[in-house]
Amino acid sequence: MVAMTTTPTRLPGSLPGALHLGGLTVETPVVLAPMAGITNAAYRRLCLEQMQAVGADGVFVCEMITSRGLVEGDAMTRSMLVFDELETRRSVQLYGTDPIHVGKAAEILCAEYGVAHIDLNFGCPVPKVTRKGGGGALPWKRGLLGAILENAVRAAAPYDVPVTMKTRKGIDDDHLTYLDAGRIAQEAGCAAIALHGRTVEQAYSGTADWASIAELVDHVDIPVLGNGDIWEATDALRMVEETGVAGVVVGRGCLGRPWLFRDLAAAFRGERIATLPRLGEVAAMMRRHAELLSLHMGEERGCKEFRKHVSWYLKGFPVGGALRHSLALIDSLATLDVLLSELDPDAVFPVAELGAPRGRQGTPRKRVVLPDGWLDDADGRDWLMAEDVSAASGG
């Protein structure tokens, strides 16, 4: 556990209570979004440790798993289903375009992996996913979406495991699907729906449309979770106030800042904990992260996996280019220790980075890649396709 310097103050106003997902109660209504190559067991534990440090617990979702790979026993898919001993509430995001495979995969997750929550991905904007009609493209096919959700809910019901879905506003501004998706999710028996306030065309660019999230809240009776542009705990509270969501989903805002979950936990119980770690504290967090990766993957692979996180942790700190470069090439914990010792432990947190976007942003897509004739039929009940997408980012 890494200690962090914090400054607590009371926050005014009403706050949402616990998040209820079927029979599952989450006292702190905060969800870590699944992010490919990021939210492995090590990172989930790191964020969970921060929440538990202030006596809280949220939902920490495993990287996305493909239903076909799981059903067919693909070794790579199965290897992603690793959970840390601290994870007493296992949550997995499932991807699929075939109702039969999704239903079978949901049953496997419940029966063999003891998951407590299944989330279905209908928000991914990555072209290799949308060109197969998956991710954020699939809700256009209302009939197909309903069939997938119904099969997943039916498979998970005997295990009392709630099924939720995550989606975007739609393919683009001319092909919006989120209100229909919410209605279909409710009718299928989903426990909640999470909405990222961007279209597939936007990807991660621009500003999230929280007004659409508020509209969905008014449109359905099941809990709605808001996603998009939550960079600080105060953003989460503002989203709750502006939209009425039952909870929030946090993705890119926590990159290089696992302590954001400590701030979020405090915020949802009425306190503002502004975690502004000095560089020495950040270095300790970096070491903890690399240690957990090594524990789960072995030191060589764990250190390689850690490299991508270096720039996020050091964003805004006065660290020379040569040292940054060396840290991004570490091959052992011993090397990491030597390099971290070169950082100035007293360097203050760069407050200019607060509230600033993190991770990928990019620009809107010139066009969304879809299967031929995808937009000609909005039902798609008979549309079945091969799931040959091996990996994709969270939506």
Burial tier of 118 (Cβ tally within 10 Å: 0-12, 13-18, 19+): buried
Q: State the CB neighbour count (10 A cutoff) for residue 391.
A: 18
Task: Return the HEC string of 285-350.
Answer: HHHHHHHHHHHHHCHHHHHHHHHCCHHHHCCCCCCCHHHHHHHCCCCCHHHHHHHHCCCCCCCCCC
- Which DSSP string do the residues of 201-216 spell out, in sequence order? TTTT-S---HHHHHHH
Angstrom CA distances, 140 to 59, 122, 165, 180, stand at 28, 10, 15, 9
Q: Which residues are catalytic?
A: 124
240 to each of 17, 114, 143, 251, how far by Cα in Å? 11, 31, 31, 17
